[in-house]
């Protein structure tokens, strides 16, 4: 077994130890792609995986609106309370940071490894959610002054 597969296996183990099925499933899926010789899938995953993931994330986030569990009235009320207005502002900031992060990852792929390792550790050890690499890259772009 090569070092890349061992790394994926180790990260899957970290997901198991921390009871984080998200990390475990993702690492095992990537390991299976490698072990089954489906290497032609990696360019597609690299190119479209993030977009597909964001689409699935948005579907999950917007499902309560689509199902009617969150009404149009409730959405309208979001503009009348300071906490909701703050949430809107933070949502705008996070989307902006994600855009900067995507640009930074595209222009400096060498930082991807650090961002991914940090995100996987955050998910596995601190029970986080793996939406961090783009935001982390956006924050990093502000710190290093690049986009």
Q: What pLDDT digit, counting tens, does each position of 66-111 carry? A: 999 988 888 888 888 888 888 889 989 988 988 888 888 778 777 8
- 120: tokens are 């996987």
Whether residue 116 is predicted with pLDDT greater than 80 in this model: the reply is no
- Give the whole-angstrom CA distance, residue 64 versus residue 61: 7
Token output for 114: 């650090």
Contacts of 19-26 spanning 24+ positions with Cβ under 8 A = 20/123, 20/124, 20/127, 22/123, 22/129, 22/130, 23/120, 23/123, 23/124, 23/130, 26/130
Q: Taking the domains of the chain in order of start, what are their residue ranges?
A: 71-146
Query: Nearest 5°: CA angle at 66, between 60 and 72?
Result: 120
Choice among 25-34, 44-53, 97-106, 128-137 with the minimum mean pLDDT = 128-137
Question: Whole-number mean pLDDT of the chain?
Answer: 84
Q: Does 3 score more than 60 pLDDT?
A: yes
Q: What is the pLDDT of residue 53?
A: 83
Q: Which structure tokens are listed for 87? A: 């949430």
Query: φ and ψ at 36, to 5 degrees?
Result: -85, 0
pLDDT average, residue stretch 21-30: 88
The pLDDT, as a whole number, for residue 19 is 76
More confident residue, 119 or 76: 76
């Amino acid at each position: 077994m090569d070092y890349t597969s061992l790394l994926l296996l180790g990260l899957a183990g970290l997901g198991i130890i921390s009871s984080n099925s998200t990390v475990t499933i993702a690492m095992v899926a990537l390991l299976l792609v490698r072990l089954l010789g489906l290497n032609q899938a990696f360019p597609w995953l690299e190119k479209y995986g993030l977009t597909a993931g964001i689409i699935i994330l948005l579907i999950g986030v917007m499902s309560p609106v689509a199902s009617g569990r969150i009404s149009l009235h409730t959405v309208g009320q979001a503009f009348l309370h300071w906490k909701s207005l703050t949430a809107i502002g933070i949502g705008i900031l996070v989307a902006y940071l994600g855009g900067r992060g995507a640009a930074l990852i595209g222009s400096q792929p060498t930082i991807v490894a650090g961002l991914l390792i940090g995100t996987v550790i955050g998910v596995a050890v601190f029970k986080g959610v793996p939406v961090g690499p783009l935001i982390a890259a956006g924050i990093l772009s502000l710190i290093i002054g690049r986009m």
